[in-house]
Amino acid sequence: MDHYLLKPKGSKVLLLGNEAIARGALEAGICFAAAYPGTPSTEILEVLAEVADECGINVEWSVNEKTAFEAAYGAAISGVRSLTAMKHVGLNVASDILMSSAYSGVEDGFVVVSADDPSMHSSQNEQDNRWYGLISHIPVVEPSSPRDAYKLTKEAYKLSSKYKVPVILRSTTRISHTRMPIELEDEVFFERKCKGVFRKDYERWVLVPGNARKRKLELMKTWKTVIENEGREPFVSILNPGLKKAIVASGIAYSYVKEALDLMNALDKVTVLKVNLPVPLPVEPVKKVLEYADEVLVVEELDPVVELQLKSIAQTLGYKSRVIGKSVVPENYELSIETLYKPIADFLGSPAMDHWISIGTVKTDPPIPPRPPILCAGCPHRNTFYILRIAANKAGLKNPVFTGDIGCYTLGYQKPFETQSTSFEMGGSIGVAHGLSKSTDNPVIAVIGDSTFFHAGIPPALNVVYNDSNVAIVVLDNLTTAMTGHQPHPGTGVSATGKRTRRILPEKILEAIGYDVTVINPLRVKESVSIVTKAFENYRSGAKIAVVSRMRCALEALRLSRKKNIILPVYHVIEEKCTGCMACIKLTACPALILEPGEKKPRINPEICAGCGLCATICPYNAIEVKNKPSMNWETTWWD
């Protein structure tokens, strides 16, 4: 019982926003949680999985967000409190069931955590998922800090139970991934309701048009009630009511507004409306502000969701206050005290004082090079990309297009690999490859990760066979979901809580669909090149082929070697043999290979080298060799 998430009431713990949400949900009495990993949402389910057995709750990594949502929804319609969590784009995948769940509602609390990623720290786009509340007519709760997230998660469950509708809890990167000391208010150990009852009610659970029409009216009745009755703390709070100027701050924006006002010594000079229920925006508190304020500034991250609703309320009720928002507050990327200081100072007529005087940028010669994320030393994707390039060449594929997908391997878009020429959304590699193959003469090779294949790669793989296009599929099976921090998936045979479960192999699925599949071990580079060359030759003659490249993620392999005391090889460059041709650096871009300024020959940093040996295979002069004495069984860390 010493997991930090399970500390007793009254303890103070330093929790990540996501952990705070998980703790809040546990206190609220959930007994089921399902999610698919995605930054910045992942740690919610991760930490719930760690404590699942101790709390006696069901926690799973589902194969995608739609599946996770449906599972958690299933629990909630039988009266078991549940949670699902996903990154913003995950809600796109689950949006079909989201819309319907609003119509049928729930029997007990159901919270959908949407973790948005303004500034795209780790995403393909930024989107403001508060809109989903407006499309689906589902209330959206938006905390202003990790501490708020903890309290508001519990409030979201109350709201959901009260109205019997799902509630979206919208977090953002700076809430999900910021730690704060949190004082725990309730216990997590109590008799939870874990067994529900499904009460048949065809008018409610079967959304045929006749039933859906009735449910829509019910839904809108709830929606209006929330607008009228929920303009109260903790969802909406008014600070300094009755002033001529008002700032309306939704979610995280409130943290910045408060700090800016503090710096300007203006905390008491303006009415502040702290909004934690941006959708639907409750009317009463807005009226209380507009009654007095001539000028209103709406501050929110990304889109003008609160601003538009507030303007609509003001217009409808005939208030003459001037309302501004996105005309002065940035609408792209995340906000900060820095970007907000000036608009707020301008609004208040405060002097634009400089609180932060920088030492200025450090300009070096040559300049500091950019450092985009890269494949780790020993990353199996590096080997596979190298193999794919050589094999495509050997098999005579002219101008092959490697369509790509989402995961660590997306980094293969970079030189020298260039084996990811597209990357849109999960599963897109195979889907887009089909269209490209139908519309061009290029050989098209879809390159997709293992977790991504299970998530959304299977339907497009079916489509390739059914509608007969010329697409080859390569599944990069590193035995984990690496990008989001190593979660298990159906191909690992391990569940979220670490239990053995039936392992599902991508090659079996692909074979069943109709592909000729070969499995390679990319640690053995030469052998793999000849196998893949053969497969590509078959592809050229019209066969449906797929390759599964299986080698453990380097970070996991290193962890395993430490745990099992297995010594991995470490390579070094033999100076006398090295001619300084740079083939190793140019063809692998491995971070362990270092060329010091002014030097002519590379060296290998032994702290970073993971011992995959790709550079040694490539070196035309055999100048790279193992320098230590690896364990006999070292290969088992990479492939078992």
Partner 1 sequence: MKNVYSVAVVGVGGQGLLTLGSILGYACMLSGLDVSVGEVHGMSQRGGSVIVHVRIGRNPSPIIPVGGADHIIAMELLEAARYAHYARKGGVLTANDFIWPPPLSNYPSREEIIGKMKGKELLFYLFNANDLSNRIVGSTVSANIAMLGFALGVDQELRSIVNIKHVEEALLEHFKGKVYEVNKELLHIAYNEGLKHAEKK
Residues that bind partner 1 (CB under 8 A): 4, 12, 14, 16, 39-40, 42-43, 121-122, 145-146, 174, 177-181, 252, 255-256, 258-259, 262-263, 334, 336-338, 355-376, 408, 411, 415, 483-485, 585-586, 589-591, 593-595, 597-598, 605, 607
Judge whether 447 and 412 are in contact, CB under 8 Å: yes
- Name the residue among 297, 357, 358, 361 with its Cα closest to residue 329: 297
In this structure, what token pair is assigned to residue 588?
Answer: 């692998």
Torsion of CA 378, 382, 384, 390, to 10 degrees: -130
The residue (of 51 and 482) whose beta carbon lies closer to ligand TPP is 482
Distance CA 20, CA 35 (A): 17
Q: How far is the CB of 541 from partner 1 (least distance, A)?
A: 37
Give me the residue label for tokens 């934690």: 276
Q: Which of 20, 47, 83, 93 binds ligand TPP (CB under 6 A)?
A: 93
The residue (of 124 and 393) whose beta carbon lies closer to ligand TPP is 124
In this structure, what token pair is assigned to residue 66?
Answer: 């739609």
Q: Does 483 bind ligand TPP (CB under 6 A)?
A: yes
Strands 571-573 and 624-626: antiparallel
Distance CA 443, CA 341 (A): 53
Judge whether 101 and 62 are in contact, CB under 8 Å: no
The residue (of 325 and 460) whose beta carbon lies closer to ligand TPP is 460
Distance CA 143, CA 275 (A): 9
For ligand TPP, which stretch binds (CB under 6 A), given 24-32, 221-229, 272-280, 480-488? 480-488
Q: How many residues are listed for the chain in this entry?
A: 640
Q: What b/e string do you get for 101-131 counting C-beta neighbours within 10 Å, with b at 16 or more?
A: bbbbbbbbbbbbbbbbbbbeebbeebbbbbe
CB under 5 to 8 A by kind: which of ligand TPP, partner 1, none does 426 bind?
ligand TPP
Q: How far is the CB of 381 from partner 1 (least distance, A)?
A: 11
Q: How far is the CB of 541 from ligand TPP (least distance, A)?
A: 30
Q: Which of 451, 470, 561, 588 binds ligand TPP (CB under 6 A)?
A: 451
Contacts made by residues 411-416, CB under 8 angstroms, sequence distance 24+: 411/373, 411/374, 411/375, 411/381, 412/375, 412/381, 412/385, 412/447, 414/372, 414/374, 414/589, 415/589, 416/586, 416/587, 416/588, 416/589
CB under 5 to 8 A by kind: which of partner 1, ligand TPP, none does 351 bind?
none
Q: Which of 21, 140, 273, 426 binds ligand TPP (CB under 6 A)?
A: 426
Q: How far is the CB of 464 from ligand TPP (least distance, A)?
A: 18
Site for ligand TPP in 395-424 (CB under 6 A): 406-409
For ligand TPP, which stretch binds (CB under 6 A), given 87-95, 282-290, 526-534, 632-640? 87-95
The residue (of 92 and 350) whose beta carbon lies closer to ligand TPP is 92
Distance CA 230, CA 235 (A): 7
The residue (of 26 and 175) whose beta carbon lies closer to ligand TPP is 175
CB under 5 to 8 A by kind: which of ligand TPP, partner 1, none does 450 bind?
ligand TPP
Q: Which of 23, 81, 87, 258 binds ligand TPP (CB under 6 A)?
A: 87
H or E segment to which residue 73 belongs: helix 65-77
Q: How far is the CB of 247 from partner 1 (least distance, A)?
A: 15
The residue (of 480 and 637) whose beta carbon lies closer to ligand TPP is 480
Q: Which of 90, 109, 146, 569 binds ligand TPP (CB under 6 A)?
A: 90
Q: Does 321 bind ligand TPP (CB under 6 A)?
A: no
Distance CA 342, CA 279 (A): 27
Binding mask 143-182 for ligand TPP (x = CB under 6 A): ----------------------------------------
CB under 5 to 8 A by kind: which of partner 1, ligand TPP, none does 362 bind?
partner 1
CB under 5 to 8 A by kind: which of partner 1, ligand TPP, none does 136 bind?
none
Encoded amino acid at 474, one letter: V
Q: How far is the CB of 222 from ligand TPP (least distance, A)?
A: 29
Q: Which of 450, 548, 561, 588 binds ligand TPP (CB under 6 A)?
A: 450
CB under 5 to 8 A by kind: which of ligand TPP, partner 1, none does 90 bind?
ligand TPP
Distance CA 443, CA 399 (A): 7
- Name the residue among 412, 505, 419 with its Cα closest to residue 454: 505
Burial group, residue 537, by CB count within 10 angstroms (0-12, 13-18, 19+) = middle
- Cis peptide, bond prior to residue 280, ω within 30 of zero: yes
The residue (of 173 and 429) whose beta carbon lies closer to partner 1 is 173
The residue (of 436 and 479) whose beta carbon lies closer to ligand TPP is 479
Distance CA 290, CA 319 (A): 7
Q: Which of 37, 231, 343, 602 binds ligand TPP (CB under 6 A)?
A: 37
Binding mask 598-617 for ligand TPP (x = CB under 6 A): --------------------
Judge whether 123 and 176 are in contact, CB under 8 Å: no
In this structure, what token pair is assigned to residue 613?
Answer: 């040996």
The string of DSSP letters for 412-426 reads GGSTTT-------ST
Q: How far is the CB of 402 from partner 1 (least distance, A)?
A: 20
Q: Which of 403, 423, 481, 497 binds ligand TPP (CB under 6 A)?
A: 481
Instruction: Compute how many residues bind ligand TPP; rule: CB under 6 A.
Output: 24
Whole-angstrom CA distances from 8 to 23, 179, 267 are 11, 19, 36
CB under 5 to 8 A by kind: which of ligand TPP, partner 1, none does 616 bind?
none
Chain positions contacting ligand TPP, by CB under 6 A:
36-38, 65, 87, 89-90, 93, 406-409, 426, 449-452, 476, 478, 480-484
